[in-house]
Structure 1
Amino acid sequence: MRLAGKVAIITGAGSGIGRATARRFAAEGAKLVIGDKTAAVHETADLIDGDVEAFQVDAGDENDVRALVDAALGSFGQLDIAYANAGVSGGLTGIFDLTVEEWQALLQVNLIGPWLMIKHAGPRMIQRGRGSIICTASVAGIRSGAGGPHYSASKAGVINLVKTAAQQFSGTGVRVNAICPGLIQTGMTQRAFDYAAEKGVTDKIGRLNPLRRAGQPDEIANMALFLASDEASYVNGQAIAVDGGLSSSHPVTRQETGKTAA
């Protein structure tokens, strides 16, 4: 019961990492406010044996993020943990083929969304003199080769955001960290797994990392639990890779655009 007596917000809780984390946090005693853009967030709530409120929200919308924070305070009287997990992948479109609208839509969720959570959850935690804010980044934000240009840039932004925020929260007792997942089997990546199964090359999934396998949502949830708990009381301003060792060398097959800038 490492989170007994604590209240947590989790976005992107309708599936994958968010759902796994919600179940893990609840099992460790946390009361939850969970959000997702899909109605599947209510299915996650049904899987939880404990105090939970579920909302269908846009993690990149300031009013929706503010509403999640208000719900935590209104229903449970406090806020101890905020996990800005929601994100979108954007595909592997080449850098010259992306539109401004595609960049803006992805950044709104992947980068502005975590900032909004920090903006609105942070002051409430400062009032209590403690708290843990966690953001989902990616190994794509560490080096090139693990995502499309706009996705990779957004996750690099998240990594710098948590470092900057940790400094701005100096002396408040509030910690801010990021998790950088590698290849995790979630709804976002399922197409790759389905394609590999169709071609009979499932054994090649995750072959570039030293563990030579893909990760599972529970393995990210375990890291989120650690960062949310008092066990991580001296961990702050960090971007921790949970990737089977991929980022220790980050081997990739280079993606060529076949085009040059005008």
Structure 2
Amino acid sequence: MNRFQGKSVIVTGAGSGIGRAAAIAFAEEGARVICADLTDGAEATAAAIGSAARAIRMDAGSEEDVIRTVELAISAHGGLDVMFANAGISGGMANLFDTDVALITEVLRVNLIGPFLAIKHAAPRIAERGGGAIVLTASVAGLRSGAGSPAYSASKAGVINLAQLSAQQLTGSGVRVNALLPGLTETGMTAPVFDHARAVGKIDRVGRLNPLGRGAQPEELARVALFLASDDASYVNGQALAADGGLSSSHPVTRQEFGRTAA
């Protein structure tokens, strides 16, 4: 398939996980890709792709860095067709009362302000090319409680609403905006969970709460991101698409009562 032949694509958080898998998949389908990440993983991903990719170090929550990244796509590839705003941080697993203002501020800066900046600066450039797509990585944690910490969950709920609002405010531009909602996926962010499970011989228990009974691999989520970015999804706009093995059909959890610590 060559759904992105000649297209110019930016992937943030391209240094690892879903971002890296997506950057490689975009390139395999003909795209020229800007691999953006805060770490040297950006260079590693670009090197794995070859001449169709360029790397840039960027902080997804910095407006200056987002502008530089968009400008690189314009100068290197002549324009911009797709923005995959995927970069994010977990913020740990602190509960509501252990989450301080500094922590939630940083999580919101990267996870919510980052996608906002991506839309703000990428959408006009994509519109100049006659339209295209913006995909935001949210999470099933943004749908309801039970899949993430307060800071992370709040940030991802904001991303879902941002996708909906942006789709409306970009009416007439030809730019579609959708949110991808991963469930538990093996990435750098979740590596401790998967590594510990393997070390103690319990990898079969990872993802056991969803109907498929397993966690996802980054490539599985990348394929959904590419669908949303492609003309195959030409009539999909302002949506939050969960790719979570069925977890969000129930979100089964053990409640933590106020004033009690889980055993």
State TM-score, norm by structure 2.
0.96
User: Identity, % of aligned pairs?
Assistant: 59
Q: Which moved more, 1:54-63 or 1:246-255?
A: 246-255
Deviations 1:85-117 (A, max 9, x none): 000001110101111111111111000000000
1:129 counterpart residue number? 130
Q: State the 1:255 CA deviation.
A: 3.5
Report the 3-state secondary structure (helix = DSSP H, G, I; strand = E; otherwise coil) of the residue aligned with 2:74.
Answer: helix
1:258 counterpart residue number? 259
Q: Structure 2 matches for 1:21-32, cutoff 5 A?
A: 21-32=22-33
Deviations 1:207-237 (A, max 9, x none): 0011001000001100111111111100000
Deviations 1:158-202 (A, max 9, x none): 000000000000111100000000000111001111222233221
Structure 1 runs, 4 residues or longer, greater than 4 Å off: none
Contact 1:94 1:257 in 2 (8 A): no
1:57 counterpart residue number? 58
Q: Structure 2 matches for 1:34-53, cutoff 5 A?
A: 34-53=35-54
Q: Structure 2 matches for 1:63-102, cutoff 5 A?
A: 63-102=64-103
The number of equivalent residue pairs is 260
In the alignment, does 2:196 pair up with 1:195? yes
Whole-Å Cα distance in 1 between the matches of residues 97 and 155 of structure 2? Answer: 17
Q: Structure 2 matches for 1:237-248, cutoff 5 A?
A: 237-248=238-249
Contact 1:96 1:259 in 2 (8 A): no
Q: Which amino acid aligns with 1:53?
A: R
Report the 3-state secondary structure (helix = DSSP H, G, I; strand = E; otherwise coil) of the residue aligned with 1:71.
Answer: helix
- What RMSD over aligned residues (CA atoms) do the two structures have, in Å? 1.3
Report the 3-state secondary structure (helix = DSSP H, G, I; strand = E; otherwise coil) of the residue aligned with 1:152.
Answer: helix
Contact 1:36 1:55 in 2 (8 A): yes
Structure 2 unmatched runs, 5+? none
Q: Which moved more, 1:147-156 or 1:127-136?
A: 127-136
2:208 counterpart residue number? 207
Whole-Å Cα distance in 1 between the matches of residues 11 and 216 of structure 2? Answer: 20
Whole-Å Cα distance in 2 between the matches of residues 97 and 230 of structure 1? Answer: 44
Contact 1:13 1:36 in 2 (8 A): yes
State TM-score, norm by structure 1.
0.96
Q: State the 1:259 CA deviation.
A: 6.3
Whole-Å Cα distance in 2 between the matches of residues 27 and 117 of structure 1? Answer: 23
Distance verdict in 2 for CA 1:257–1:34, change over 3 Å: farther
Whole-Å Cα distance in 1 between the matches of residues 140 and 183 of structure 2? Answer: 6
Contact 1:26 1:50 in 2 (8 A): no
Whole-Å Cα distance in 2 between the matches of residues 149 and 44 of structure 1? Answer: 31
Q: Which amino acid aligns with 1:124?
A: R
Q: Which moved more, 1:214-223 or 1:46-55?
A: 46-55
Q: State the 1:256 CA deviation.
A: 4.3
Q: Structure 2 matches for 1:147-226, cutoff 5 A?
A: 147-226=148-227
Report the 3-state secondary structure (helix = DSSP H, G, I; strand = E; otherwise coil) of the residue aligned with 1:96.
Answer: helix
Q: State the 1:245 CA deviation.
A: 0.6
